Chains A and B, each alone.
Chain A
Amino acid sequence: MKKRSYDSIVIGGGSAGLAAAAEIAGRGYHVAVIERELTLGGILNQCIHNGFGLHYFKEELTGPEYAERMIDMTAHLPGIDFFLDSAVLEVKGPRGGEPRSGAENAEGPLHNGGLVVYGISKHEGITEFTASSIVLAMGCRERNRGNIGIPGTRPAGVFTAGLAQRLVNIDGYVPGKDVVIVGSGDIGLIMARRMTWVGARVHGVVEIQPYPSGLTRNIAQCLNDFNIPLYLSHVVSEIHGSRRVEGVTIMPIEDRHEQSAKSFRLDCDTLLLSVGLVPDNELSRRLGVVLNPETGGPYVDASLMTSVPGVFACGNVLHVHDLVDWVTEESTRCGGNVCDYLAGGKTPWQGAVAAGANVKYVLPNRYAPSRKNVFYLRTLVVKNRALLRATIGGRTLLERRLPHVQPSEMVTFTLGPDAFNGAHGTAGQGGLADGRLEVSIE
């Protein structure tokens, strides 16, 4: 068994892992990136459509182009080693898997390699990596038929949209000729167009909500331009076919009630599911990282460190983003925090962050009043001219009018030391009336 030691190990070589690793290596630390595929870039490689990079690179790129930019910014850095075609089998915290308690967190970084990662590959066998810090950057996975419980038979021909996308764009295989898509998220819409372009007929996109869950431009460019019907407030209530999909029953929902009498059947040989993404936290769980049921990702403090000291998280493993640009921003910042941690900087005083009215979640879950804090939040409501408000103990730190909010579009805002002045007296003394930062949408 090979043994290797690093300052930091980044698990996952997609957009999150690359940005974090670039930042860590750029500041002179020795970092390993472990990637299970043969190529870096993660899911971007199969997203051959454009629309990426408008915020971060200020130009429109395809997924593979965005990945290439990230790789170019990272690969040449000294102090960075890539382990491709390598899976992580196990991760262990300090003292054989037992996470240290919060009190011990104050001791600072775990030097001399308190964290252990077991990687496996065909060529190297098992490698035992030890490090003082880990960045979780494993991304997310797709929800599937079982998660949404579509009744009926279990024939071949039911695919998640991302798997279908991979089969078409990377392997060159077409899942079927006559397609129905469940879910109007962006992957589903993109795949409606992609399947049409390879010669399949897309008979409809079925969305349970009364409004589409993907971007408006994708509805126009992926459905309307191809005359693909969008069934809003409808569900697939049954799958037919014993060997291969032969059709689906589609049922309208009116006033939250299923209208089975108004059901109709669409014949198809393929059903694609675009019904949501979930952070892929199996390794985190085994490491003892505490997960947030609202996001599916870890609880993190102001520096994006999880409940296990030295273990950080960024990108879609932390929460599912809608734009890769935000993944890059968040992960670069995470890499910087890892460097601060490795340098043994004293952890500043942190207060709790809570989701207030109409907010599904706010990340990170702690704030540090002495620093600049970048927050991401998702709303629970669709609203025009919404008011974003951040308060501590009844005192308003930030109020901002947003033209439009909806659950599928992430909201971001920043609070610097200026905003906290006066709200706390002197930061770091604790014991203040109520240090809880509450964020609401009104």
Chain B
Amino acid sequence: MTLPYVLRLICLCAAAFFLVHAALGLLLRLAARPIIQFAHRMKPREATHFLLLVRFLPVAASSFVVLSICLPSYLWFESGATKENVGAGFVIAALLGALIWIASLLRVGRAVAAAGQLVRKWKESCTESKFPGVSPPVEILESDAPVLLLAGVLRPRLVLSSGVLRSLSPQQLHSALRHEEAHRASRDNFKRLLLLLSPEIFPFARSFDLMDEAWALFSEWAADDDASGSNPEQSLTLAESLVRVARMGAAPRPAPLCTSFIPPDQDLAARVNRLLLPSSFQSELWRRLRAIFAGTACTLLVLLTFVLSRPSALQSVHQLLERLSH
């Protein structure tokens, strides 16, 4: 197949992105369980940071390779006037690269539309109310369903049903709202959006479910910790409010960009037991890992500067890419 200059550049970027991303994504998928076990050795908030960082490694590394190596080497050494033949494998890799991004964008589009629809619907039927100790106003939904969640990405809103309002004591309600407030403060819905946006290994196939579920679990635990503030009395009150809301029945399944007080797929007993026996362990792991990640990033930047400063190195990269495309 013969492709003009610009189209060849686009295909090269998409194919390189797909190949690097698929290799790293498969590695990550294989190592998901040990990584999650390792995260269990950290504090929940640190575990969420760690998992998010690891989860974005494939997309970050592949974007880095495309933007810092493929693009400059092509622009520098490829002559603009020529039309060149490319191989079928190269075109397929480029198509797959484009498709994984299209699938991600579709997923995000659907999630944003569903969240927007939900917020609009609630705006019509909710009444705004202020609660002491909770900074943004809370939307009260007239319903007996056990609804207590944080909805929206840019300006997330706390939504509470009148049923929950009636069944919780003021202390329990306060701790439950502090839990959701902790989600808001750590921008968990925005992180959910980023997880949805991050491309899969292959188009339209969920590949990082384990990591995403683990992240969701740790984000709940971290919000529990923030809400209880390591105070055993407050931990117990939060545990009581969890059980009280669970007694109201199954909560409706929240939209993808909502954070529910009791997520339907998580083990409530484990969460309550954790609140009953709060641990006070201090881990240095995250600090060390941050240093390792920062060191690796600096090394990569130095390497990149070295490569870009030597045209012969970039030329070798270009020759390699040329071979790949044919």
Chains A and B bind each other: no
